[in-house]
Amino acid sequence: MADRVYSKTHEWLVVEGKTVTAGITDFAQSQLGDVVFLELPNPGRKLEAGESFGVVESVKAASDLYSPVSGRVTAVNDKLAGKPELINSDPYGDGWILKLEVTGELPKDLMDEAAYKKFTETGA
C-alpha cells in the first residue's frame, strides 16, 4: 500500500495510480472531538482541488471538508452514516471518507508523515 500523504487542511490521502482514498487526520479528529454526523457527496460528483465537499459535525462544531485534489468521487464510505464515530476511532482505516479518481496533477504542498507532524506542532 502506498504511503499516506497529508494536506494543510488536515486531510490524508493514499494515492494508488489514479485512485485516491481520503479521510481526515488523527490530529483533525482529536481537535474536532466526537464526530456525530457527516454530510458527504454522492458518487459521481466532480470536485476541484480546494473545494468544500462536505461537513463533519462534531459535538463542538461543524467543520467543512476540503478536497486536496481534483477528481471524481467514485466511492463514499457508507459505514459512516451509521457509525460516524469511526472517524474518531480509526481515522486512517475504517474511518476513510471517500475515494476519488484523480484528474490532473496532485498538488505540490502535500506532506509526508514527518513534515505533517511538524506542521501540526509548529503550524509551519
Partner 1 sequence: MVDFGGWELPQQYTSIRDEHFAVRRCAGLFDISHMGRFKLHGDGSFAFLQGLLTNDLSRIGPGRAQYNLMCNERGGILDDLVAYWGEDGFIVVVNASNRERDLEWMRDHAPAGVEIEDRTFEQSLLAFQGPSAASLMPASGLDDLPYFGFRPGKVAGTSALVSRTGYTGEDGFEIFVRAERVVEVWDAILEHSAKQGALPAGLGARDATRLEAALRLYGNDMDEGVNPYEAGLGWTVRLDKGEFVGRGALTSVKRDGPKRTLVGLKTGAGDIARHGATVFKSGTRIGAVTSGTHSFFLGHPIALAMVEVASLRVGETAAVDVRGREAAAEVVQLPFYRGSARSAAAAPAKP
Identified binder of partner 1 from the candidate list 16, 18, 37, 112, rule CB under 8 A? 37
Q: How far is the CB of 80 from partner 1 (least distance, A)?
A: 11
Beta-bridged to residue 38, according to DSSP, are: 56
Spatial CB neighbours of 49, under 8 Å, sequence gap ≥ 6: 67, 68, 69, 70, 104, 107
Stretch that binds partner 1, among 9-17, 21-29, 59-67, 100-108 (CB under 8 A): 59-67
CB of 118 to partner 1, least distance (A): 21
Any residues with CB less than 8 A from the CB of 92 and at least 6 apart, and which?
4, 12, 23, 26
Q: Does 51 bind partner 1 (CB under 8 A)?
A: no
